[in-house]
Amino acid sequence: MGKSIAINAGSSTLKYKLFEMPSEKLISSGDIARIGMPDSTVSIKYGDGKKYKDTLDVKDHEEAIKLVLDKLLSLDIISDYNEITGVGHRVVAGGEEFKDSVVITDEVLQKLEDLSELAPLHEPANILGIKAFKKILPNVISVAVFDTSFHTSIPEKNYVYGIPYEYYEKYGARKYGAHGTSYRYVSGRAAAMLGKPVEDLKLVIMHIGAGASMCAVKGGKSFDTSMGFTPLTGVMMATRSGDVDPSVLSYVMEKEGIDKLSDMIKILNNQSGLLGVSGVSADMREIEGVQAKNHRAYLSREMYKNRIIRYIGQYIAEMNGVDAIVFTAGVGENDIMIRQEVTDELGYFGIAVDPKKNDIRGEERDISTDDAKVKTLLIPTNEELMIVRDVERLKDHQ
Ligand SMILES: Nc1ncnc2c1ncn2[C@@H]1O[C@H](COP(=O)(O)OP(=O)(O)O)[C@@H](O)[C@H]1O
Ligand SMILES: CC(=O)OP(=O)(O)O
Ligand SMILES: [Mg+2]
């Protein structure tokens, strides 16, 4: 018996879950959201139904990690850090090196630092979390669980870019994808809900939050996904552009007098997407609050939806069929209107959502109409559960 904690640093959030292991009983969960934006929110659940909530400005992931470490003790969730006997970290990029979760040694940590370029918004925060917990718990097992692992099944034809092949061979310039731990969890739950073996299913999963991606899961394995070499491509996101013709970059750089391509890529990562198009906010809730009177906010939301619709069509074609589509992550789990509006465009495929069943947030449910040919499921993701399971698995193999 022991307690394992999973740390999940997203682009705008820091989430944790503390489990009693091996029973997988949830002891506490916490979510710091809107990191780097005004009025960040802190929400912690612990004890028997106790809740702690606060609104303050959390400027970066370093502050967020300090806050989590502080609250674990000050709210009496644990009385000593040493009660924690396993730590698992979400790490976004594993490159071609890490195909499975791994115990973090100094050598592994160095390799993660080297991979930072593959997930510039995430890997530095993931590494901060690893170091902060190593400092207070130097002798406790610490495991990295990679977003990219689930995507190692993607066939070559889907991960090689149409650029000179030597760039892949020499530098690993290929599609790696992200959100794989979420896709792993959600595809398992989808199969359970549909009462069929995952091996027999074709799924399109939409992990749409601040970071957003889509995955075609065929027979339980990732077949294609929308994020690329880094988590910048694919659908449009909170601050990330999604797919763009690369020629736009050099053209705009010349016009705007931007000298370095890395600066332009930063604009695509941090100042684009919902934020860049609307000029209002990166947060879908704020966009929805003003879209009726602000055309750019309305447009940004229309674009967000349209990119999702486009990829659903693409993945149904690529898999030559689909049994179910699944909504998950911040927007997917909570935004009733987005789910309705997206699926309303997909009637041709036999997809139809029942507005009554869809009137729900953050709970597992089949939201399709009774006669829908293709099911639409709402499945809250649980990356943290997959993370502590991997800690447990690797504990025995240390
Ligand atoms: N009720 C809601 N309606 C619409 N969007 C929401 C709602 N609740 C949360 N979101 C969106 O979810 C996003 C966060 O998604 P999440 O998956 O938790 O974060 P991250 O991508 O940082 O891991 C935020 O951008 C927020 O706008
Ligand atoms: C990879 C990625 O974009 O993650 P998140 O959605 O947690 O920001
Ligand atoms: Mg996330």
Give the position of tokens 């890997």.
Answer: 123
Question: What pLDDT score was predicted for residue 283?
Answer: 96
Q: What letter does residue 264 receive in the DSSP assignment?
A: H
Q: What letter does residue 55 receive in the DSSP assignment?
A: E
209 lines ligand 2 (CB under 6 A): yes
Q: How far is the CA of 252 from the centre of ligand 3 (A)?
A: 30
205 within 8 A of 217, measured Cβ to Cβ: yes
Q: How far is the CA of 34 from the centre of ligand 1 (A)?
A: 9
Nearest CA owner, ligand 2 atom 7: 10
Catalytic residue among 39, 54, 57, 147: 147
Nearest CA owner, ligand 2 atom 6: 211
List pLDDT tens digits, range 90-101: 999 999 999 999
pLDDT tier at 1 (50, 70, 90 boundaries)?
Answer: confident
- Please give the Cα distance from 10 to 126 (Å, whole number): 9
pLDDT tier at 172 (50, 70, 90 boundaries)?
Answer: very high
Q: Are strands 2-9 and 84-91 parallel, antiparallel or unpaired?
A: parallel
- Please give the Cα distance from 329 to 356 (Å, whole number): 21
Rg (CA), the chain: 21
Q: How far is the CA of 66 from the centre of ligand 3 (A)?
A: 19
CA distances from 174 to 65, 118, 139, 158 (A): 32, 11, 36, 9
The C-alpha angle 136, 142, 148, rounded to 5 degrees, equals: 135
Ligand located closest to 329 CA: 1
- Model confidence at 19: pLDDT above 90: yes
- Claim: this prediction has a pTM higher than 0.95: yes
- Ligand 2 pocket test: which of 8, 13, 115, 122 has the largest number of ligand atoms within 8 Å of its C-beta? 122
CA distances from 204 to 97, 275, 321 (A): 27, 26, 10
177 lines ligand 2 (CB under 6 A): no
Q: How far is the CA of 60 from the centre of ligand 2 (A)?
A: 15
Check the annotation: does 228 bind a ligand: no
Which amino acid, residue 226?
A: S
Q: Is the peptide bond between 22 and the residue preceding it cis, with omega within 30 degrees of 0?
A: yes
ipTM of the complex: 0.98
Pocket of ligand 1 (CB under 6 A): 10-13, 209-211, 238, 283-285, 329-331, 334-335
Ligand located closest to 33 CA: 1
Average pLDDT, the chain: 97
61 lines ligand 2 (CB under 6 A): no
Tokens matching residue 346: 């997909």
- Please give the Cα distance from 366 to 356 (Å, whole number): 11
- Ligand 1 pocket test: which of 284, 340, 359, 379 has the largest number of ligand atoms within 8 Å of its C-beta? 284
Q: What is the 3-state secondary structure (H, E, C) of 125-166?
A: HHHHHHHHHHHHCCCCEEEEEECCHHHHHCCHHHHCCCCCHH
Q: How far is the CA of 161 from the centre of ligand 3 (A)?
A: 26
- Please give the Cα distance from 348 to 326 (Å, whole number): 17
List pLDDT tens digits, range 21-66: 999 999 999 999 999 999 999 999 999 999 999 999 999 999 999 9
Give the position of tokens 């070499």.
Answer: 229
Alpha helices in the chain (DSSP H): 61-74, 106-114, 123-136, 156-159, 165-171, 180-194, 247-256, 261-270, 273-278, 284-290, 295-319, 329-334, 336-344, 383-395
Nearest one of 179, 176, 146, 150 to 161, comparing CA atoms: 176
The C-alpha angle 332, 335, 338, rounded to 5 degrees, equals: 85
Q: Is 31 a catalytic residue?
A: no
- Please give the Cα distance from 251 to 200 (Å, whole number): 47
Nearest CA owner, ligand 2 atom 3: 211
Question: What pLDDT score was predicted for residue 323?
Answer: 98
Q: What is the DSSP string of 198-243?
A: GGG-EEEEEEESSSEEEEEEETTEEEEES--SSTTSSS--SS---S
Give the Cβ contact number of residue 197 at 10 Å: 10
List pLDDT tens digits, range 315-368: 999 999 999 999 999 999 999 999 999 999 999 999 999 999 999 999 999 999
